[in-house]
Amino acid sequence: AQTVTQSQPEMSVQEAETVTLSCTYDTSESDYYLFWYKQPPSRQMILVIRQEAYKQQNATENRFSVNFQKAAKSFSLKISDSQLGDAAMYFCAYKLYGQNFVFGPGTRLSVLP
Amino acid sequence: DVKVTQSSRYLVKRTGEKVFLECVQDMDHENMFWYRQDPGLGLRLIYFSYDVKMKEKGDIPEGYSVSREKKERFSLILESASTNQTSMYLCASSALVNSGGRGNQPQHFGDGTRLSIL
């Protein structure tokens, strides 16, 4: 079974600085999808960014970018110019075509003013 | 924007009670899901449904059942609530996997229901 690991239960970053959240996964498949979701305190979980494994180019969404290393099965999220509103739980997720999502345990990010 | 609405943000029930958690989505999504979220465990799938009156067990279905009588509504039922079911429950919906896309349709989540069983 596929598993997703987020080795950092908690992280903190100074406002305006850059932070990288780690995610590794275990799979024997070659075509799959990876996602980062953000869950702000007491608010709805929303999609931050997604990556298709067949694409070599790393996905980018404004201040959010990923470092996708397929051979290493690594999918880290980089947040540039951190803002107070970035404070949240971040979940990494893996999805195989036609299968359900597999979520990691989450990383709680604090942003310090 | 997709709107997924869960009927309660906070709910307190007693051991042995029958508990209903309701979820409604407004985007005509075929797929609906119920997860529970516990610290250090992430999201674990309880049940999901790909169509009306259709349901499939997820990873942790024991102690739960579901109902999907209408496309937009997916209910989670705790037949006889127990204290180990105290948790945050998240409902999600997504478009059909094989609707021409490659299966990377994201899930859209509700606000969650924090359920306490006393």
Provide, as residue numbers in chain B, all residues whose Cβ is less than 8 Å from the Cβ of A104. 42
What is the architecture, at CATH level 2, of domain B4-97? Sandwich (2.60)
DSSP letters of B62-86? TTEEEEEEETTEEEEEESS--GGG-
Tell me how many domains chain A contains. 1
Torsion sign (Cα): A51, A56, A62, A63: positive
pLDDT score, position B103: 59
pLDDT score, position B97: 60
* The amino acid at B44: R
* The amino acid at B42: G
Look at the block and give the residue holding tokens 């009588």. B69
- Quick check: is A96 in a domain? yes
Mean pLDDT of chain B: 91
Res. B50: pLDDT tops 80: yes
| Residue B74 vs residues A45, A102, B13, B45, B110: alpha-carbon distances, Å | 18, 21, 20, 14, 12
Q: Which of B111, B84, B118 is nearest to B21 (CA)?
A: B111
Residue B100: pLDDT band (50, 70, 90) is: very low
User: What is the domain partition of chain B in residue ranges?
Assistant: 4-97
A22: its two tokens: 């780690």
Q: What is the CATH number of the domain that holds A36?
A: 2.60.40.10
- Quick check: is A112 in a domain? no
Residue B104: pLDDT band (50, 70, 90) is: low
> Which domain covers residue A81, as residue numbers?
3-107
Q: What is the pLDDT of residues A38-50, one digit of tens each?
A: 999 988 899 999 9
Give percent of chain B with pLDDT exceeding 70. 92
- Quick check: is A28 in a domain? yes
**Residue A101 contacts B where some CB pair is shorter than 8 Å:** yes
Name the residue of chain B whose CA is nearest to A7's CA: B40
Specify the 3-state DSSP secondary structure of B100: coil
- B104·A33 Cβ contact <8 A: yes
- Quick check: is A86 in a domain? yes
**Residue A59 contacts B where some CB pair is shorter than 8 Å:** no
* Sequential pLDDT tens for chain A (113 residues): 779 999 999 999 999 999 999 999 999 998 899 999 999 998 889 999 999 998 889 999 999 999 999 999 999 999 999 999 999 999 999 998 778 899 999 999 999 99
- Quick check: is A61 in a domain? yes
Q: What is the mean pLDDT of residues B85-95?
A: 95
Q: Which of B3, B107, B109 to mutate to test the interface with A (most CBs of A within 10 A)?
A: B107
pLDDT score, position B101: 47
